[in-house]
Amino acid sequence: MTVRFKPADKQVEVAAGTLLSDAARQAGIEILMPCGGQGRCGRCAVIVEEGTVRRRSTQRISPKDVEAGYALACQTIVEEDVAVSIPPQEKIERRLKESKRAAKVELPFPYDLHDQPLRKYAITLKPPSLQDQTDDWSRLRRELARLYDLQDLQASLPVLRKLGPALREGEWTVTLVVNLDPAGFRKPEGTASLPSTVEGSPKGTPVLLDILPGEHLENLWAAAIDIGTTSNHVWLVDLISGKVMSQKADYNGQIARGEDVISRIIYASKGNGLQDLQGLVMETLNRLLERAARERGISTDQIYKAVVAGNSTMIHLFAGIPPKPIRLMPFITVINQLPPFPAREIGLGINPDGTVDCLPGIASYVGSDITAGVVSSQMCGMDDLSLFIDIGTNGEIVLGDCTWLISCACSAGPAFEGAGVVHGMRATAGAIEEVWINGGHGGRLEDYDVTYRVIGEEKPRGLCGSGLISLMAEMFAAGVMDKSGNIHLDLPTERVRKGEHGAEYVVAWADESATGEDIVITKVDIDNLMRAKAAIYAGFSILARSVGLSLDDVGQVLIGGAFGQYINVSNAVRIGLLPDKPFDSFSFLGNTSIRGAYMALISQDARRRVTEVGQMMTYLELSADNTFFDEFNAAMFLPHTDMSQFPSVAALLEGG
Amino acid sequence: MTVRFKPADKQVEVAAGTLLSDAARQAGIEILMPCGGQGRCGRCAVIVEEGTVRRRSTQRISPKDVEAGYALACQTIVEEDVAVSIPPQEKIERRLKESKRAAKVELPFPYDLHDQPLRKYAITLKPPSLQDQTDDWSRLRRELARLYDLQDLQASLPVLRKLGPALREGEWTVTLVVNLDPAGFRKPEGTASLPSTVEGSPKGTPVLLDILPGEHLENLWAAAIDIGTTSNHVWLVDLISGKVMSQKADYNGQIARGEDVISRIIYASKGNGLQDLQGLVMETLNRLLERAARERGISTDQIYKAVVAGNSTMIHLFAGIPPKPIRLMPFITVINQLPPFPAREIGLGINPDGTVDCLPGIASYVGSDITAGVVSSQMCGMDDLSLFIDIGTNGEIVLGDCTWLISCACSAGPAFEGAGVVHGMRATAGAIEEVWINGGHGGRLEDYDVTYRVIGEEKPRGLCGSGLISLMAEMFAAGVMDKSGNIHLDLPTERVRKGEHGAEYVVAWADESATGEDIVITKVDIDNLMRAKAAIYAGFSILARSVGLSLDDVGQVLIGGAFGQYINVSNAVRIGLLPDKPFDSFSFLGNTSIRGAYMALISQDARRRVTEVGQMMTYLELSADNTFFDEFNAAMFLPHTDMSQFPSVAALLEGG
């Protein structure tokens, strides 16, 4: 069958029975599938202009549109020659977080090059002679043992292939790059640490990563990497000074195949999905590594190690391990602690023999972004009981102190990243990020009119997560909606009205918006956001109760994740997303995951602590907790059914 | 430039300055280059029919032939469009040694599956639940530790990728293939062995090689491999019984790029030569593995280990390590003991995660074919002082007993394999393998006429190694030539005559030969053979003297190598190639290299002994020995200047 695509005017031959989305990929045409090809989001709609097709599902397309030829690419089967028109695909607006937002990273502790296991040695060997015909490799090892007491050095075939030529080109002077302890488990002498036999740890055998002719001791580079479901971060680190020399970030290229981890897992289990997703994240990371290297004037081949943190699904996809069991009852990972491996095995764009160390996670939904985050949050260094929250595409929560840690994951869904909300969008240019409504009990002008702030000071195009929180808090405080999230349709303003999806509130009129349509929030949107915040708050409550404590006992609330940086705390408390605590109990830590990866990169002690945190941490599976549904329902109000947990909000409402 | 090849009628575009041999390769046309492209052998001559070329050398081509368009492909540079005619290339006649000659291999010792480190375990795991969310990998390791006390199991990413699907497809019953000790260094309990800290040994960590859904304990396959310069051997071994189930052999595909190791090293150092040679030997081995597997009705993916022996150059080329230093003063290898690696790293056609264990050699010209050979020759189990000889393309010699070993390599050259001899050829169909001449002091008919035996009972086409030894011994004994190798031209027979290359003796007349020309041996050939045998005998003498002994002290002469199988001992002694010992001192062991690889495959103890032999063995570099020239010159006679070393030959000559 021939499938012709417009307007690109590309055409491919496919077998009958092929999905339109597969045909498009074969033609090299990008069609966004935020739900991972499940036919649920409706974003992959195309117009079939010639020929007939079989539609497995037409969810999200009106019968009128189906009549007009609309079809979901991921649900539509080619049965004869067809011509298909692809509407313009939504472009992901790139926000250069690294330059605009990322603060310069300070060294988290005094740095000593010898606290991390990467070394460069420049050595000059006695050349071989007829009297000493020792082979090159033994000669090198002999000298390393003599000079540095370095025993049992290992090397892969690709490195051994460089050995002979390098020694002779350098006239028996070479620079060696060695990883003394690929997995970072060897305890430096005199360092105190929790007792542990680290499960899954390979022997701490030194490995030769590279051999260069001549002397090249001037630098030693490595990278910390954070693989988020939504965005990827790379920090290029100079191991001589320990400093972060470049920070790059971009959206994870996998977004086009699904917004959340579930969609990605579904996508990965189909055909070449896994290879496709692995390739996409590698493309993103390699582009970031390339840009960081170029910024410092080095080649990526000079980067000899990468420490990687990410949620368990991201780590599985990064390593090419089928993530399917993560999604299915009883929700387990294939592996929490990957062995270190050379970059060539997955095509990560550092030196091909450079060590890739994926930090250990502990469960399907508590990955190494969290173990790394706990270490970098320093929650173990505090006297108080701490609550650590990472709200990203999922919400992960850790409660504990130095002696114990308990964690859970809330399937909050990506509502706070703008998905599942009619005018939701990511926090990029054009997103409304904060909202103020006239009204409520504060004695202000009660016309329920609105002002807002837009990222990039452009015309608004939609609402991002912080905008949604702000909007809900203001609608509730101003009395636009009640504690169940019902919009009062009888208010004296045109902004409340009955729309296609039930009651809605107009945030921006068509003439002020960039899209030419009204920007609204609907009852359906509000229900989605309520479920998200209720899931998170239920997580807090259950974690605390499971160890016989209450949220009152929590002294510190540590908030990680990029999203956390932009939350207005009083708004988040007002809608019951965060517990009601004094303002100074909250710390906003930004991307704790990459910070943890960075610490593990520059310190063996921090590296070991990540593993120990993982071993110490108990994981509570909320879906196996029989109180979850009660707690969730109790939190499905603004801020909560139990107002005694939200005294400041109660005071605000009463004080009105 | 366009180069057109006839008669294949292929054509390629190349840059000006390209060698004709490279252009031919590019066109997919095979041109034999036994000297490795050095312009020395003349075998790659082609006819330039159109266009002019630049000839860097015309060695071996007469000026008349140059005028007629002849050129050496390896020495001729394309400077304009040319048309080239390729004469028919000599085909290597394949002799199916495995079926015709190889004897059934008996188990060398009582076999116990547990003496070797490959294991299969079929286990059933308790499925995960919401109460036990342990990840797949930890679940597997936990059960292996509990059932088999197997600690610290490692796995590569490719194997980890199979884990999740295999567990679920097998409904939590899986079969694991584990290498308990990839390098075979772990000492089984209660086994006595020489004390050793094996240099270069990786930690004996168990490695998971494969995971299969369900229970599959019925077989466990591995392979022993011998990579000779000339021929390659593969034995397919059933590790359940320990028996050799199939034997395959073929000429090393690298022969087309050079007959001896020196030519190969030269070829490897040019352009893509190394990759080309690695690919050629891999093609040969993979074909043999495929044939052996097919014979037993299995897939090559079921072969989980290969133990490999070969000379140091062959092992370097097999692993893709540039072998250049082997050829240059002071003749050293890049590495004698390669770490074990997965087959996928070099493309060897067994299971891609199967372990490849290259046995350790000790020097550039004493490789693992010799260490393996010493172990399989059992020379360490004998009371007598033993001399071990492997005469192949090179001649390697080891002298010693259980407590010490000393070795050397003689650059005998490939004369005994038929190279460097006008009518020399390999021991294939049509080769004269034994010769009898009427004459000498024995009172027989003194007409100097000849009878001979031909391999395959065909018309003769040339002389193979054993035929050459036989011919020299007979010519000497019959008085056709003197002790210096000078042919007596005044004998009353037409068989001695003056030819193009000086004096020569006709073994077969044109009308009896398959080629239609006389088959002769010339003075130049005899000089080549004299140099080869003198180099070997000088090696014997120097080795013995270096440890204060003489050849009289040797009790056993152990002869390895395929060539050794066909030598007539009295002939070899008569020309002074082998020392003059009673007939029952000689043992002909056949291919000791693959037998050693096989023993190392089925027994950890034998594997460790190979390493220990390597560590124990002293290597004597003959080119650094200042008595070599004297000993060599003394041996440049038939059988030797010092007749007291050859009493039986002296008796024969006197008794005539």
Q: Which of B126, B141, B302 is nearest to B206 (CA)?
A: B141
Query: Residue range A374-385: average pLDDT?
Result: 86
Question: Dihedrals φ, ψ of A435, to 5°?
Answer: -135, 140
Same domain? A145 vs A71: no
pLDDT at B156: 94
What's the domain range around B216? 113-358
CATH code at position B651:
3.30.420
Instruction: Please state the ipTM of this predicted complex.
Output: 0.85
Q: In chain B, whose CA is at the least distance from the CA of A159?
A: B321
- The pairing of strands A303-310 and A221-227 is parallel
**Is the residue at B95 inside a domain?**
no
Distances (CA, A) of B498 to B438, B487, B506: 21, 10, 11
- Specify the 3-state DSSP secondary structure of A173: strand
Residues 6+ apart with CB under 8 A from B41: B33, B34, B35, B60, B259
pLDDT at B200: 32
Amino acid identity at A445 = L
pLDDT of B629-647, one tens digit each?
A: 999 999 999 999 999 999 9
Same domain? A79 vs A141: no
By CB neighbour count within 10 A (0-12 exposed, 13-18 middle, 19+ buried), where does A558 fall? buried
Q: Which residue has the tokens 């202000």?
A: A444
- Specify the 3-state DSSP secondary structure of A243: strand
Instruction: Look up residue A310 and give its two tokens.
Output: 């990410």
**CB-based contact A160 B619, cutoff 8 Å:** no
Residue B247 predicted with pLDDT over 80: yes
Alpha-carbon gap, residue A141 to A153, rounded angstroms: 7
**Enclosing H/E stretch for B373:** helix B368-377
Q: How far is CA B529 from the centre of its chain?
A: 20
* Neighbouring C-beta atoms of residue A272, cutoff 10 Å: 12
Same domain? A120 vs A79: no
Binning pLDDT at 50, 70 and 90, where does residue B28 land?
confident
- Specify the 3-state DSSP secondary structure of A268: helix
Q: Which residue has the tokens 């020659």?
A: A81
**CB-based contact B154 A128, cutoff 8 Å:** no
Q: Which of A117, A100, A328 is nearest to A239 (CA)?
A: A117
CATH code at position A270:
3.30.420.480
Residue A466 predicted with pLDDT over 80: yes
Same domain? A62 vs A199: no
Alpha-carbon gap, residue B546 to B392, rounded angstroms: 24
Contact residues, B window 613-632, toward A, CB-based 8 Å cutoff: 619, 621, 623-624
**Is the residue at B188 inside a domain?**
yes
**Is the residue at B218 inside a domain?**
yes
Apex B123 CA angle, B122 and B124, nearest 5: 135
- The pairing of strands A207-213 and A154-155 is parallel
Distance from CA of B323 to the nearest CA of A (A): 8
With contacts defined as CB-CB under 8 Å, which chain A residues touch B337?
A: 137-138
Q: Which alpha helices (H) appear in B378-488, and where do they start and end?
A: 465-477
Contact residues, A window 291-330, toward B, CB-based 8 Å cutoff: 319-322, 324-325, 329-330
Interhelix angle B368-377/B312-319, nearest 10 degrees: 120
pLDDT of B210-226, one tens digit each?
A: 999 999 999 999 999 99
Contact residues, B window 397-456, toward A, CB-based 8 Å cutoff: none
Q: Which alpha helices (H) appear in A447-603, and where do they start and end?
A: 465-477, 523-546, 569-574, 592-602
Q: How far is CA A335 from the centre of its chain?
A: 18
What average pLDDT does chain B have?
Answer: 88
Question: Dihedrals φ, ψ of A346, to 5°?
Answer: -125, 0
**CB-based contact B334 A135, cutoff 8 Å:** yes
Amino acid identity at A166 = A
- Specify the 3-state DSSP secondary structure of A247: strand
Instruction: Look up residue A635 and give its two tokens.
Output: 């939190």
Same domain? A307 vs A226: yes
Residues 6+ apart with CB under 8 A from B384: B401, B554, B555, B556
pLDDT at B596: 96
Same domain? B212 vs B335: yes
Task: Please provide the size of chain A in residues.
Answer: 656
Please answer whether residues B631 and B380 qualify as being in contact, where contact means their C-beta atoms are separated by less than 8 angstroms.
no
Query: Residue range B451-457: average pLDDT?
Result: 87
By CB neighbour count within 10 A (0-12 exposed, 13-18 middle, 19+ buried), where does A77 fall? middle
Same domain? A80 vs A173: no
Instruction: Look up residue B366 and give its two tokens.
Output: 């004493």
Please answer whether residues A438 and A449 qualify as being in contact, where contact means their C-beta atoms are separated by less than 8 angstroms.
yes
Distances (CA, A) of B46 to A43, B49, B354, B399, B571: 65, 9, 44, 47, 40
Contact residues, A window 223-282, toward B, CB-based 8 Å cutoff: none
Same domain? A126 vs A166: yes
> Which range scores top for mean pLDDT: A84-98, A465-479, B19-33?
A465-479
Q: Which residues pair with B436 in a beta bridge?
A: B451
Alpha-carbon gap, residue B521 to B460, rounded angstroms: 14
Task: Please provide the size of chain B in residues.
Answer: 656
Alpha-carbon gap, residue B360 to B333, rounded angstroms: 12
Q: In chain B, whose CA is at the least distance from the CA of A324?
A: B164
Residue B137 predicted with pLDDT over 60: yes
Query: Residue range B402-412: average pLDDT?
Result: 87
Amino acid identity at B274 = L
Query: Residue range A583-587: average pLDDT?
Result: 88
Alpha-carbon gap, residue B656 to A372, rounded angstroms: 92
Amino acid identity at A505 = Y
Q: What is the pTM of this model?
A: 0.85
Q: Which of A154, A354, A197 is nearest to B183 (CA)?
A: A154
pLDDT at B232: 95
Which of B458, B486, B513 is a domain's end point?
A: B513
**Is the residue at A274 inside a domain?**
yes
Residues 6+ apart with CB under 8 A from A314: A227, A228, A229, A252, A261, A281, A367, A369
Residues 6+ apart with CB under 8 A from A160: A137, B319, B321, B334, B335, B338
pLDDT of B61-105, one tens digit each?
A: 778 788 888 898 888 999 999 999 887 765 444 333 333 334 567
Residue A595 predicted with pLDDT over 50: yes
Greatest CA span in chain A, whole angstroms?
A: 102
**CB-based contact A137 B331, cutoff 8 Å:** no
Q: A43 or A216: whose pLDDT is higher?
A: A216
Query: Residue range B280-285: average pLDDT?
Result: 98
- The pairing of strands B405-410 and B617-619 is parallel
Distances (CA, A) of A545 to A366, A646, B54: 19, 17, 89
Instruction: Determine the number of helices (DSSP H) and then strands (DSSP E) in chain B.
Output: 16, 29
Q: Which residues pair with A481 in a beta bridge?
A: A487
Residue A94 predicted with pLDDT over 60: no
Same domain? B274 vs B139: yes
> Which range scores top for mean pLDDT: A155-164, B29-38, B150-159, B384-393?
A155-164
pLDDT at A204: 62
Residue B194 predicted with pLDDT over 70: no
Same domain? B126 vs B267: yes
Please answer whether residues B355 and B304 qualify as being in contact, where contact means their C-beta atoms are separated by less than 8 angstroms.
yes
Distance from CA of A207 to the nearest CA of B (A): 11
Instruction: Look up residue B174 and give its two tokens.
Output: 């899986």
Same domain? B574 vs B478: no
Alpha-carbon gap, residue B438 to B474, rounded angstroms: 9
Task: Identify the residue among B275, B312, B334, B622 best suited for mutation to test binding to A, counting A beta carbons within 10 A and taking the highest.
Answer: B334
Residue B550 predicted with pLDDT over 90: yes
Asked if the C-beta of A134 comes within 8 angstroms of chain B's C-beta atoms, the answer is yes
Alpha-carbon gap, residue B630 to A370, rounded angstroms: 76
pLDDT at A342: 96
Number of separate domains in chain A: 2
Q: In chain A, whose CA is at the least distance from the CA of B619?
A: A133
Alpha-carbon gap, residue B241 to B405, rounded angstroms: 33
**Is the residue at A153 inside a domain?**
yes
pLDDT at A413: 67
Instruction: Look up residue A428 and give its two tokens.
Output: 């990029």
Please answer whether residues B570 and B584 qualify as being in contact, where contact means their C-beta atoms are separated by less than 8 angstroms.
no
Interhelix angle A592-602/A368-377, nearest 10 degrees: 80
- Specify the 3-state DSSP secondary structure of B372: helix
**Is the residue at A524 inside a domain?**
no
Alpha-carbon gap, residue A368 to A398, rounded angstroms: 13
CATH code at position A46:
3.10.20.30
Report the range of poorest mean pLDDT among A137-151, A479-493, A524-538, B405-419.
B405-419
Task: Identify the residue among B125, B171, B317, B332 best suited for mutation to test binding to A, counting A beta carbons within 10 A and taking the highest.
Answer: B332
Distances (CA, A) of B386 to B545, B606, B617: 14, 19, 14
- The pairing of strands B450-454 and B431-437 is antiparallel
Same domain? B483 vs B598: no
- Specify the 3-state DSSP secondary structure of A154: strand
Q: B383 or A459: whose pLDDT is higher?
A: A459
**CB-based contact B339 A155, cutoff 8 Å:** yes
Query: Residue range A508-513: average pLDDT?
Result: 94
Alpha-carbon gap, residue A137 to A499, rounded angstroms: 76
Q: Which residues pair with A70 in a beta bridge?
A: A47
Distance from CA of B134 to the nearest CA of A (A): 7
**Residue A350 carries which DSSP code?**
S
**Is the residue at A560 inside a domain?**
no
**Is the residue at B452 inside a domain?**
yes
Q: Which residue has the tokens 């305890």?
A: A187
Q: Which of B197, B540, B281 is nearest to B386 (CA)?
A: B540
Alpha-carbon gap, residue A524 to A207, rounded angstroms: 56
Q: In chain B, whose CA is at the least distance from the CA of A323?
A: B164
pLDDT at A603: 95
Residue B413 predicted with pLDDT over 70: no
Binning pLDDT at 50, 70 and 90, where does residue A564 land?
low
Peptide bond preceding A110: is omega within 30 degrees of 0, i.e. cis? no
Query: Residue range A522-536: average pLDDT?
Result: 93
pLDDT of B310-341, one tens digit each?
A: 999 999 999 999 999 999 999 999 999 999 99
